[in-house]
């Protein structure tokens, strides 16, 4: 039974506000100002509530309550530092996602926006529950629910390609979770008598070292949302979905949930100290993300399709975050959390900028980006900043998290990790520069005048059947809805101002 107290009410209220957003699409008209207002206002209220929870948490109040109790297993929520960081990220990106998605659906004439927005909001809410989960059982339930809620988003446009993509997506995520993660959780519950997250872990002493390592591997590979090789294949397959869904999957909720669950397992189930003793002779845990990094680095250079490049880039960056976490040191853990946040902002910017370009011009390949800098200069600039952040150029977000990871690895004299990280940055630079060159390549006036834009973005005086630009100074992005621009600006400010955000993250992580 839930125990109602002041802080608990605030948590319930936060959840309730989030749930309101689920029904808003069904009680308002498609692309109406009323719907936009309610959705965004609700998400902003959610964010404000989360900020109030932050205040409570930083003042030592950690509300917790149980929703359903089945004896050993219970669905319970609790505020703790890692969860608060993830919840804050979700709250901020929810507002950005809604601002962007509402108008993206409208200008791209995507049908059934009610269903789309409902499941989008479900995904974010489920992510919030995962952030607040107090035990393994709760985490698992909502982890699986997240997989299910993303299904309608991936196959929103029902065609053969999206169905095939979905099949692969489900196959990998569900099978890995049911065959690896779930049995590991059951074993832990049976042997330890519970699964509540405890600072410093609770598993030490209950298993032999070899069994503990097997359990750890089962849980790491069971959370296939973190896209570790060879369970990474779902990510490129899921790219069949539209840009807001891809952003949601790759930057906002799904992959970050995978990372977050892995971090929670390391910090609150096993504990960093226990893991250090398990891997005292040699930390071969880092080899898994290293293999993934090398594999994804090679793969990303093959593609000219924008979405595939971004997919493998995500796999690469997730593995870097896991690499940092698998250093099994407090500094490595902090760096891993930093990288999770910095990557979210950078990748969201890239996806939304790519979504803008797609909305204006239907671009799928890199070669179709030529001429974009003339018609969409601000979007090109966002791609530039986000790209530089991914490479790790200061003073952007990517550099700060990379620097933390390098320091953590240097402290352990782990030159293998440092070398892999630097080589990975070089590969990242190669494909990001390739993308930026296509965007900023000088193009002749003749080329720009013959750019085929979507009808909505062609000047009014133009012959609409030809969909052509009248002058080389024409900025098609001026016709993009202001919400989409605001969304990108908010995400970009996260990339540029990450130096200040990282101070807050460090403060929260001080509680671990």
Partner 1 sequence: MYHHPAFIVLAFIVGLIATRKQEKIFRYIALFMPIAALISIYIMPPQVVFDLFKTGIIWDGSFYNKLIGFAFCIVLIAANLYSIGQNKKLEIILGSAYAASSLLCLFAGDFLSLFIGLELMMLFSSSIIFIGEGRFSIRSAKKYFITHFTSSSLILLGIVHIISKSKSLALISITSLMPNPEYSNVVLIMMLVGLLINIAAFPFSGWMVNYYQNASTSGFIYLISFTTKLSLLLILKLFSGLLALKYIGIMMILYASIKAILENNILKLLCYLSIMAMGLMLMGISIGSFVAINSVICYLFIHILYKASLSLCTVSVIDSTGIIDCSDLKKISNNTIVLSSIISIAMMISLPGTSALQIKSAISHLFSGDVFYLAPILLSLITVYSLPWKNCFKKHVASQRIMLNNYTRASLILMSFVLICVGLFGSKLLFLTNGTTFDYPVMFSFDSLKQLIIISLGFYLALKYKIKKFHTESINLIEWFGKIFLQLHSWWFSKSNEDPPITESWSIGSLEHQISTKLTVIHNQKTAIFIVFIVFLTILITLLLLA
d(CA 468, CA 461): 11
Least separation in angstroms between residue 321's CB and partner 1 is 18
Q: Residue 488 to residues 99, 356, 381, 425: CA-CA distances in angstroms?
A: 9, 10, 11, 24
Q: Residue 222 to residues 174, 215, 250, 289, 354: CA-CA distances in angstroms?
A: 9, 10, 18, 15, 31
The 478-507 site mask, x for binding partner 1 (CB under 8 A), equals: ---------------------x---x----
Residue 67 found at the interface with partner 1 (CB under 8 A): no
Q: Indicate the residue among 198 and 384 with the shorter CB distance to partner 1.
A: 384
d(CA 402, CA 393): 10
Which of helix, strand or coil describes residue 78? strand
Q: Indicate the residue among 76 and 91 with the shorter CB distance to partner 1.
A: 76
d(CA 39, CA 42): 5
Q: What residues from 293 to 332 belong to the interface with partner 1 (CB under 8 A)? A: 298, 301-302
Pick from 1, 70, 367, 460 the residue near partner 1 by CB under 8 A.
70
Q: Indicate the residue among 200 and 510 with the shorter CB distance to partner 1.
A: 510
Distance between first and last Cα of the chain: 28
d(CA 340, CA 402): 11
Host H or E run for residue 501: helix 498-509
Q: Indicate the residue among 32 and 473 with the shorter CB distance to partner 1.
A: 473
Residue 447 found at the interface with partner 1 (CB under 8 A): no
Exposed, middle or buried: residue 266 (CB in 10 Å: 0-12, 13-18, 19+)?
Answer: buried
Q: Indicate the residue among 104 and 404 with the shorter CB distance to partner 1.
A: 404
Please give the structure tokens belonging to residue 470.
């009248």
Least separation in angstroms between residue 410's CB and partner 1 is 4
Q: Which residues contact 49 (CB under 8 A, 6 or more apart)?
A: 10, 13, 14, 17
Residue 1 found at the interface with partner 1 (CB under 8 A): no
d(CA 260, CA 254): 10
CB atoms within 10 A of CB 41: 15
Please give the structure tokens belonging to residue 348.
């969201």
Residue 172 found at the interface with partner 1 (CB under 8 A): no
Residues 318, 261: contact at Cβ < 8 Å?
no
- Nearest residue to 23 (alpha-carbon basis) of 117, 149, 123: 117
Please give the structure tokens belonging to residue 499.
């130096």
Residues 134, 76: contact at Cβ < 8 Å?
yes
Residue where the block lists tokens 């900043």: 385
Residue 399 found at the interface with partner 1 (CB under 8 A): yes
For 167, half-sphere exposure in the C-beta direction (CA atoms, 13 angstrom radius) is 7
Residue 191 found at the interface with partner 1 (CB under 8 A): no
Pick from 441, 450, 452, 478 the residue near partner 1 by CB under 8 A.
441
73: which strand partners?
A: 70
Residue 415 found at the interface with partner 1 (CB under 8 A): yes
Q: Indicate the residue among 97 and 502 with the shorter CB distance to partner 1.
A: 502
Least separation in angstroms between residue 48's CB and partner 1 is 26
Residues 223, 173: contact at Cβ < 8 Å?
no
Least separation in angstroms between residue 270's CB and partner 1 is 22
Residue 385 found at the interface with partner 1 (CB under 8 A): no
- Nearest residue to 199 (alpha-carbon basis) of 123, 96, 268: 268
Q: Indicate the residue among 247 and 408 with the shorter CB distance to partner 1.
A: 408
Least separation in angstroms between residue 142's CB and partner 1 is 12
Q: What residues from 114 to 143 belong to the interface with partner 1 (CB under 8 A)? A: 141
Q: Where are the beta strands (DSSP E) in 229-348?
A: none
Pick from 282, 442, 446, 461 the residue near partner 1 by CB under 8 A.
442
Q: Indicate the residue among 181 and 354 with the shorter CB distance to partner 1.
A: 181
Least separation in angstroms between residue 97's CB and partner 1 is 24
Stretch that binds partner 1, among 32-40, 46-54, 213-221, 439-447 (CB under 8 A): 439-447
Q: Indicate the residue among 10 and 177 with the shorter CB distance to partner 1.
A: 177
d(CA 401, CA 324): 10
Stretch that binds partner 1, among 9-17, 115-123, 351-359, 418-426 (CB under 8 A): 418-426
Q: Which DSSP letter does residue 4 get?
A: P
Residue 426 found at the interface with partner 1 (CB under 8 A): yes
Least separation in angstroms between residue 130's CB and partner 1 is 16
Stretch that binds partner 1, among 38-46, 313-321, 374-382, 403-411 (CB under 8 A): 403-411
Residue 2 found at the interface with partner 1 (CB under 8 A): no
Least separation in angstroms between residue 137's CB and partner 1 is 8
Pick from 44, 61, 186, 291 the residue near partner 1 by CB under 8 A.
186
Pick from 13, 213, 308, 407 the residue near partner 1 by CB under 8 A.
407
Least separation in angstroms between residue 153's CB and partner 1 is 13
d(CA 358, CA 26): 27
- Residues of the shown chain interacting with partner 1 in the complex, contacts defined by CB under 8 A: 70-73, 141, 144, 148, 151, 155, 158, 163, 166-167, 170, 174, 178, 182, 186, 298, 301-302, 388, 391, 393-395, 399, 403, 406-407, 409-411, 413, 415, 418-419, 422, 425-426, 429-430, 433-434, 437, 440-442, 499, 503
């Amino acid at each position: 039974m839930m125990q109602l107290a002041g802080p608990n009410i605030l948590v319930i209220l936060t959840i309730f506000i989030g749930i309101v957003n689920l029904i808003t699409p069904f009680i308002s008209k498609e692309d109406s100002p009323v719907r936009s207002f309610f959705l965004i206002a609700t998400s902003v209220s959610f964010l404000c509530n989360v900020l109030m929870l932050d205040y409570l948490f930083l003042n030592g109040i950690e509300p917790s309550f149980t929703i359903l109790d089945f004896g050993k297993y219970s669905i319970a929520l609790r505020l703790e530092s890692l969860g608060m960081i993830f919840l804050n990220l979700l709250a901020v990106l929810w507002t950005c996602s809604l601002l962007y998605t509402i108008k993206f659906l409208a200008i791209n004439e995507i049908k059934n926006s009610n269903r789309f927005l409902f499941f989008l909001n479900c995904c974010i809410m489920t992510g919030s529950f995962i952030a607040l989960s107090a035990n393994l059982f709760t985490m698992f339930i909502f982890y699986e629910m997240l997989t299910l809620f993303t299904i309608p988003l991936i196959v929103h446009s029902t065609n053969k390609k999206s169905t095939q993509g979905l099949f692969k997506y489900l196959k990998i995520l569900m099978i890995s979770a049911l065959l690896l993660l779930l049995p590991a959780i059951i074993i832990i519950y049976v042997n330890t008598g519970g699964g509540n997250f405890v600072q410093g872990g609770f598993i030490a002493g209950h298993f032999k070292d070899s069994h503990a390592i097997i359990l750890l591997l089962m849980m790491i590979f069971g959370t296939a949302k973190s896209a570790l090789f060879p369970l990474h294949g779902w990510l490129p397959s899921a790219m069949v979905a539209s840009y807001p869904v891809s952003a949601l999957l790759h930057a906002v909720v799904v992959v970050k949930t995978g990372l977050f669950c892995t971090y929670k397992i390391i910090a609150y189930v096993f504990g960093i100290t226990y893991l250090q003793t398990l891997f005292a002779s040699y930390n071969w845990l880092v080899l898994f993300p290293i293999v993934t990094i090398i594999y994804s680095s090679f793969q990303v250079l093959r593609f000219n399709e924008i979405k595939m490049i971004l997919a493998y880039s995500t796999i690469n960056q997730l593995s870097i975050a896991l690499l940092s976490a698998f250093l099994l040191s407090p500094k490595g853990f902090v760096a891993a959390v930093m990288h999770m946040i910095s990557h979210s902002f950078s990748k969201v910017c890239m996806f939304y900028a790519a979504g803008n370009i797609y909305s204006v011009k239907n671009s799928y390949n890199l070669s179709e980006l030529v001429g974009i800098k003339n018609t969409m200069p601000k979007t090109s600039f966002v791609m530039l900043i986000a790209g530089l952040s991914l490479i790790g150029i200061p003073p952007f977000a990517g550099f700060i998290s990379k620097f933390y990871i390098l320091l953590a690895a240097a402290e352990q004299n782990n030159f293998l990790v440092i070398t892999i990280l630097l080589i990975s940055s070089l590969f990242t630079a190669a494909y990001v520069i390739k993308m930026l060159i296509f965007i900023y390549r000088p193009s002749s006036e003749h080329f720009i005048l013959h750019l085929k834009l979507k009808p909505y973005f062609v000047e009014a005086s133009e012959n609409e059947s030809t969909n052509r630009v009248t002058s080389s100074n024409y900025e098609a992005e001026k016709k993009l809805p202001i919400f989409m621009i605001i969304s990108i600006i908010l995400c970009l400010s996260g990339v540029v101002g990450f130096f200040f955000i990282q101070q807050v993250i460090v403060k929260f992580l001080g509680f671990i």
